[in-house]
Amino acid sequence: MMNGVIVIGAGGHAKVCIELLRAMERQVAFCIGGDDDAGGFCLGVPVLAGDAHLASLRDRGFGQAFVAIGSNGLRQRLGARALALGFELVNAISPRATLSPTAQLGRGVAVMAGAIVNADSRIADFAIINTAASVDHDGHIGEAAHIAPHCGLAGNVEVGARSFLGIGTKVIPGIVIGPDVVAGAGSVIVSDVAGEARIAGVPARTLRKKDT
Ligand SMILES: CC(C)(COP(=O)(O)OP(=O)(O)OC[C@H]1O[C@@H](n2cnc3c(N)ncnc32)[C@H](O)[C@@H]1OP(=O)(O)O)[C@@H](O)C(=O)NCCC(=O)NCCS
């Protein structure tokens, strides 16, 4: 197997993830960026343009990948594609994150510096626990969900697949948040949230639909 992780993504989130992987003493071989990224570099890592490179890198013997894309749906789809091609999806965990020994992490998970994942929590594939966010005991973070920086989730909180909790969101104990939810920055979530809701505020309420 060729050495080095393939990072899918070449933007700001990819930079953070490359530094996490380097802090874990993993070498990053290539990034895969969009069609406009040809010939560029991301933190010194050569960027190949277009997802088609994933299959050719697999053919060349690269076996490990990490999806570093901010869009939750796209991260989930590209993660599934990488798995189907036979890549192992590695985790990118900051040495300055605190993970309970009883926490369970899936594949392709990012846990940034200062984040805390407490006892018996489960973090599903492709989820992001961003800088200084905390997931307290028995939390369940769904596939490709994103818990943005400085979020605070009390115990027994469940977050559905692909849901996004904006920066600084707080969630009281036992709340269930459905899939594909967007919670605005600074939300305080005090009741269960149905799937696909867009909420914000203190306490968090459904955002008014925009006029079309
Ligand atoms: C919630 C959010 C996604 C809405 O974005 P949007 O769809 O473009 O919505 P708009 O900016 O048009 O705002 C719609 C309404 O919601 C209000 N609103 C937006 N964000 C809000 C927030 N965080 N808290 C309270 N109200 C908010 C706006 O004031 C506006 O109110 P109005 O209808 O009375 O004028 C965005 O404002 C937000 O908070 N994003 C979080 C980003 C983040 O944390 N990123 C971290 C990356 S690591």
User: DSSP letters along 6-49, please?
Assistant: EEE--SHHHHHHHHHHHHTTPPEEEEEE-GGGTT-EETTEEEEE
The pLDDT mean for the chain works out to 96
Nearest CA to ligand 1 atom 45: 166
pLDDT digits (tens, 9 = 90+) for 10-30: 999 999 999 999 999 999 999
| pLDDT in the model for residue 18 | 98
| pLDDT in the model for residue 210 | 67
Q: CB of 186 closer than 6 A to ligand 1? A: yes
Report whether pLDDT(75) > 70.
yes
Nearest CA to ligand 1 atom 37: 184
Reply yes or no: is the peptide bond before residue 203 cis, omega within 30 of 0: yes
Q: CB of 16 closer than 6 A to ligand 1? A: no
| pLDDT in the model for residue 211 | 60
- The Cα–Cα gap between 16 and 110 comes to 10
Atom of ligand 1 nearest to the CA of 148: 48
**Averaged pLDDT, 114-136:** 98
Domains of the chain with bracketed CATH: 2-90 (3.40.50.20), 93-209 (2.160.10.10)
CB atoms within 10 A of CB 82: 25
- Ligand 1 centroid to Cα of residue 200, in Å, is 7
Report whether pLDDT(95) > 80.
yes
What's the pLDDT band for 79 if we cut at 50, 70, 90?
very high
| pLDDT in the model for residue 3 | 87
Enter the pTM of the model: 0.96
| pLDDT in the model for residue 209 | 75
